[in-house]
C-alpha cells in the first residue's frame, strides 16, 4: 500500500518537516532502504546512518533535522515505526472457508468467515470466532474455544478445553493445554497427579514457535491480555501471568508461579515453583529464581540465585578478581607476603 508522508503524519499525529507528497510504500533499516521506504532514528547518535540512507522519509525525535530528508517528528520513533509498518503493510486476507482435506466435526461451531487450512482437525464442540485463520495441520481438541480474528500458524495444537481470546496469534509448533509435570511418589513409584484444570489465554497475546503451556492441575493456567511470549518457552501448570508481560526465549516457569503485570523476563531465565514476581519487575537473562522467592514490584534482578542488579554487579566484580586474590593468598601462606608483582606491559618494537 502506497501512502504519502502527509497521510502518514496525520495517521501518527506527527509533525511534518519536508515534502508532504513524498511516497511511502514500505519500511526498512537505514542501510537497505530505498527511496519509498520509511526508516526511523532514535537519537542524534544514529543520525549519520539515517542521513546516508536511500530513504526519503525518516521518523525522528523532536528537533532532529537531516538535510534532504522529509522528517516526521514524533516523541517515540521506534513505537511510531511499528504502528506505521502495520498500517503500510497490512496482512493479506486469506480465503475464507474450509479446505477439502480438513476434518471438522459436525458439532463444531465455526463463524461464517473463518479460514480452515489443509489437513486441520477440528474436534467436537470446538468454537471458532469470526475472522480467525486456522492454518495447515493444526489440531483443536474437543471443546477448545478460539476467539475472533485469531491466527494459528501451521501445526499448532490446542488440547481439549483450551481457550483463546480475541486477536491471539500462535506460531508454528506451539502446544497449549498439555498435561503439567505433576507426580506423587508412593509405593515405590511415581503416580501421576490429576491434570484436569483449565487453560486460558487472554486477548492480543502472541506466542512464539515451539512454546508449550500446560493446563492447570486442579485450577487454571492463565495468560493475561497483551502478553508476548518468545520461542521455546515452557510455562507449567497453574501459572498465572499478568497483562502485558514479555517473556524471552528458553525461559522456564515452574508450576504455581504468579507473574504480575508488565514484567520483563530475559532469555533462559529459570523460575522455580511457587515464586511470585510482582508488577513491573525485570528478570535478567539466565537468572535463576529459587522456589518460593518473591521478586518485589519494580525490582531488577540478575544471576543465580537471582539478586538485585547492583548487588550482582558488585559480586561479579569480585568474582572476576578471584585469580588475583588467590595468588595473593598463596603468597601470604608461603611467607612471601605482599601483592604479586605485575608483569610489565610489553613494548612494541
- Annotated catalytic residues are 237
Residue 156 in contact with residue 137, Cβ under 8 Å?
Answer: no
Upper half-sphere CA count for residue 250 (Cβ side, 13 Å): 7
Chain length of the chain: 349
- What does the alpha-carbon distance between residue 60 and residue 145 come to, in Å, rounded to a whole number? 43
Between the alpha carbon of residue 88 and those of residues 44, 64, 130, 281, the distances in Å are 26, 24, 24, 34
Between the alpha carbon of residue 308 and those of residues 41, 267, 283, 314, 315, the distances in Å are 32, 17, 10, 10, 11
Q: Hunting for cell 516457569 — which residue is that?
A: 253
- What does the alpha-carbon distance between residue 276 and residue 301 come to, in Å, rounded to a whole number? 13
- What does the alpha-carbon distance between residue 156 and residue 177 come to, in Å, rounded to a whole number? 11
Q: How large is the angle between the packed helices 322-333 and 309-320, nearest 10 degrees? A: 50
Rounded (5°) CA angle 269-273-276: 80
With residue 86 as reference, give the H or E element that holds it: helix 77-88
CB contact set of 280 (below 8 Å; sequence gap of 6+) = 260, 261, 262, 263, 297, 298
Nearest to 229 by CA among 210, 208, 250, 244: 208
Residue 83: strand, helix, or coil: helix
Residue 273: strand, helix, or coil: coil
Cell of 130: 469470526
Amino acid at each position: 500500500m502506497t501512502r504519502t508522508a502527509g497521510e502518514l503524519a496525520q495517521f501518527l499525529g506527527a509533525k511534518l518537516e519536508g515534502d508532504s507528497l513524498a511516497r511511502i510504500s514500505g519500511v526498512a533499516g537505514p542501510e537497505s532502504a530505498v527511496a519509498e521506504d520509511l526508516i526511523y532514528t532514535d537519537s542524534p547518535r544514529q543520525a549519520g546512518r539515517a542521513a546516508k540512507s536511500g530513504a526519503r522519509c525518516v521518523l525522528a525525535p523532536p528537533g532532529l533535522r537531516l538535510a534532504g530528508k522529509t522528517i516526521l517528528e514524533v516523541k517515540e520513533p521506534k513505537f511510531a515505526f511499528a504502528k506505521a509498518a502495520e498500517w503500510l503493510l497490512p496482512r493479506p486476507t486469506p480465503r475464507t472457508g474450509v479446505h477439502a482435506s480438513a476434518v471438522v466435526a459436525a458439532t463444531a461451531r465455526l463463524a461464517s468467515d473463518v479460514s480452515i487450512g489443509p489437513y486441520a482437525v477440528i474436534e467436537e464442540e470446538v468454537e471458532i470466532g469470526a475472522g480467525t485463520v486456522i492454518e495447515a495441520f493444526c489440531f483443536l481438541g474437543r471443546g477448545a474455544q478460539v476467539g475472533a480474528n485469531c491466527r494459528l500458524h501451521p501445526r499448532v495444537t490446542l488440547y481439549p478445553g483450551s481457550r483463546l481470546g480475541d486477536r491471539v496469534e500462535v506460531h508454528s509448533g506451539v502446544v497449549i493445554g498439555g498435561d503439567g509435570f505433576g507426580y506423587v511418589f508412593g509405593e515405590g513409584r511415581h503416580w501421576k497427579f490429576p491434570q484436569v484444570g483449565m487453560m486460558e489465554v487472554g486477548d492480543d497475546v502472541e506466542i512464539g514457535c515451539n512454546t508449550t503451556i500446560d493446563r492447570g492441575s486442579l485450577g487454571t493456567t492463565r495468560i493475561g491480555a497483551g502478553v508476548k511470549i518468545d520461542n521455546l518457552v515452557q510455562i507449567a501448570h497453574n501459572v498465572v501471568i499478568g497483562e502485558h508481560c514479555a517473556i524471552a526465549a528458553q525461559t522456564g516457569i515452574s508450576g504455581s508461579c504468579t507473574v504480575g503485570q508488565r514484567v520483563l523476563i530475559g532469555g533462559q531465565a529459570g523460575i522455580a515453583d511457587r515464586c511470585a514476581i510482582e508488577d513491573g519487575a525485570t528478570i535478567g537473562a539466565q537468572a535463576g529464581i529459587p522456589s518460593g522467592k518473591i521478586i518485589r514490584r519494580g525490582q531488577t534482578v540478575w544471576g543465580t540465585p537471582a539478586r538485585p542488579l547492583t548487588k550482582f554487579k558488585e559480586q561479579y566484580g569480585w568474582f572476576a578478581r578471584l585469580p588475583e586474590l588467590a595468588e595473593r593468598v598463596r603468597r601470604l601462606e608461603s611467607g612471601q607476603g605482599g601483592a604479586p608483582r605485575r608483569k610489565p606491559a610489553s613494548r612494541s618494537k
